C-alpha cells in the first residue's frame, strides 16, 4: 500500500538572479513499511527533498499526497498536526532540550498533543533502543549515540506512520553510527514504520530496501523494481 506520493514535485530557491532547482520534478511513491535511502553528493537536494516530502517546506510546484490525500488541501495548522501525529523526524543534530531528562524529552511530543502516554509502547521503545539506564539523565550526561537514541525514541513516541531522518548518523563515530542505523532499521520494521532516510554515505544507503540517487535536484537512479 502506498503511504506517501509526490507528483512533479519541484522546489526552487533564488540566489540573486539565479534560480536553483533544489528538487527538480520528483515523481515518487513510497510503500508503507518500506525503508528508502535518499543519497547523492552534498548540495544535490537530499535535505530539500526530505523537507518538501514531509511538509517542513512548501514545494514551489507539484504535490505531495499522504494516505491518499493531497497536502495542498491542508492549511499550516493542519500540516503541523499531521507532522506531529503521523510523522517523526530525526536530524544530524539531536536537538534535545538540555534542561529536560531523557524521558521528559521523549514525552514532549505526547505532551504537546495532550495525549496520555502509552506506557507499554514507550517502555518497549526504551528497551529496544537500549536507553533504560539513560532516561533519568540530562542530555549533557549522555554520549552522542545515546542522545540520538533518545531523539529516535522522541520521534517515535507518537507512533508515526513515517520516520524522516536526515543524516542521522552524521555526527556519530563509525561504531555508534552503525548501531544507531541498525536500531532505526529494527524499530521501523518492528513497529511497521516507513523509513525515509537521507545519507551521503553509501555504506548506510546500501542497507535500505530502496535507494534513490540525486544529482542537481534530479532523481537519476531508483533501485525500486531493480534486482538487488
Ligand atoms: N534555504 C535555502 N536557500 C537557498 N538555497 C538553498 C536553501 N536550501 C538549500 N539550498 C540550495 O539547494 C541545493 C540543495 O541543497 P540541499 O537540499 O541542502 O542538498 P543536500 O542535502 O543534498 O546537501 C543546494 O544548491 C543548496 O545550496
Ligand atoms: Mg543535506
pLDDT in tens, the chain (228 residues): 999 999 999 999 998 999 999 999 999 999 999 999 999 999 999 999 999 999 999 999 999 999 999 999 999 999 999 999 999 999 999 999 999 999 999 999 999 888 899 999 999 999 999 999 999 999 999 999 999 999 999 999 999 999 999 999 999 999 999 999 999 999 999 999 999 999 999 999 999 999 999 999 999 999 985 544
Going from the Cα of 124 to the center of ligand 2, the distance in angstroms, rounded, reads 31
Q: What is the CATH number of the domain that holds 91?
A: 3.40.50.300
65 domain-assigned? yes
Instruction: Give the ligand at the shortest distance from the Cα of 15.
Output: 1
85 is in which domain, residue-wise?
2-222
Q: Are 205 and 45 in contact (CB under 8 A)?
A: no
83 domain-assigned? yes
Q: Whose CA is nearest to atom 20 of ligand 1?
A: 43
Going from the Cα of 192 to the center of ligand 1, the distance in angstroms, rounded, reads 31
13 CB less than 6 Å from ligand 1? Answer: yes
Q: Are 137 and 101 in contact (CB under 8 A)?
A: yes
User: What string of DSSP letters covers the chain?
Assistant: -EEEEEEEEEEEEEETTEEEEEEEEEEEEEETT-EEEEE-STTSSHHHHHHHHTTSS--SEEEEEETTEEGGG--HHHHHHHHHHHEEEE-SS----TTS-HHHHHHHHHHHTTPPP-HHHHHHHHHHHT-TTTTTS-GGGS-HHHHHHHHHHHHHTT--SEEEEESTTTTS-HHHHHHHHHHHHHHHHHHT-EEEEE-S-HHHHTTSSEEEEEETTEEEEE-TTS--
pLDDT of residue 113: 87
Q: Are 23 and 59 in contact (CB under 8 A)?
A: yes
52 domain-assigned? yes
79 domain-assigned? yes
71 domain-assigned? yes
227 domain-assigned? no
Going by C-beta distance under 8 Å and a sequence separation of 6 or more, which residues neighbour residue 130? 149, 183
User: Which residues sit with Cβ closer than 5 angstroms to ligand 2, an ion?
Assistant: 47
Instruction: Give the ligand at the shortest distance from the Cα of 167.
Output: 2
Cell of 133: 539506564
Other beta carbons within 10 Å of 106: 27
Instruction: Give the ligand at the shortest distance from the Cα of 214.
Output: 1
pLDDT of residue 226: 53
Q: CA-CA distance, 85 to 67, in Å (whole number)?
A: 13
Q: CA-CA distance, 37 to 199, in Å (whole number)?
A: 7
Q: Count of domains in the chain?
A: 1
95 domain-assigned? yes
209 domain-assigned? yes
The ligand 1 atom at the shortest distance from the C-alpha of residue 41 is: 22
- Chain centroid to CA 162: 7
Q: Whose CA is nearest to atom 11 of ligand 1?
A: 22
Global pTM reads 0.96
The ligand 1 atom at the shortest distance from the C-alpha of residue 14 is: 4
Q: Whose CA is nearest to atom 5 of ligand 1?
A: 13
Going from the Cα of 22 to the center of ligand 1, the distance in angstroms, rounded, reads 6
Amino acid at each position: 500500500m502506498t503511504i506517501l506520493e509526490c507528483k512533479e514535485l519541484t522546489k526552487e530557491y533564488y540566489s540573486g538572479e539565479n534560480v536553483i532547482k533544489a528538487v527538480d520534478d520528483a515523481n515518487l511513491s513510497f510503500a508503507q513499511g518500506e525503508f528508502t535511502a535518499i543519497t547523492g553528493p552534498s548540495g544535490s537536494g537530499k535535505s530539500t527533498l526530505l523537507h518538501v516530502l514531509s511538509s517542513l517546506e512548501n514545494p514551489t510546484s507539484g504535490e505531495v499526497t499522504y494516505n491518499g490525500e493531497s497536502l495542498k488541501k491542508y492549511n499550516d495548522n493542519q500540516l503541523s498536526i499531521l507532522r506531529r501525529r503521523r510523522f517523526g523526524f530525526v536530524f544530524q543534530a539531536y536537538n534535545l532540550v538540555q534542561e529536560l531528562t531523557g524521558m521528559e524529552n521523549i514525552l514532549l511530543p505526547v505532551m504537546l498533543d495532550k495525549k496520555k502516554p502509552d506506557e507499554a509502547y514507550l517502555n518497549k521503545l526504551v528497551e529496544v533502543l537500549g536507553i533504560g539506564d539513560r532516561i533519568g539523565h540530562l542530555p549533557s550526561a549522555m554520549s552522542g549515540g545515546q542522545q540520538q537514541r533518545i531523539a529516535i525514541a522522541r520521534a517515535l513516541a507518537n507512533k508515526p506512520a513515517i520516520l524522516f531522518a536526515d543524516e542521522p548518523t552524521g555526527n556519530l563515530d563509525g561504531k555508534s553510527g552503525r548501531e544507531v542505523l541498525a536500531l532505526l532499521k529494527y524499530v521501523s520494521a518492528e513497529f511497521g514504520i516507513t523509513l525515509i532516510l537521507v545519507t551521503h554515505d553509501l555504506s548506510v544507503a546500501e542497507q535500505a530496501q530502496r535507494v534513490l540517487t540525486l544529482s542537481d535536484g534530479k532523481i537519476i537512479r531508483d533501485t525500486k523494481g531493480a534486482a538487488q
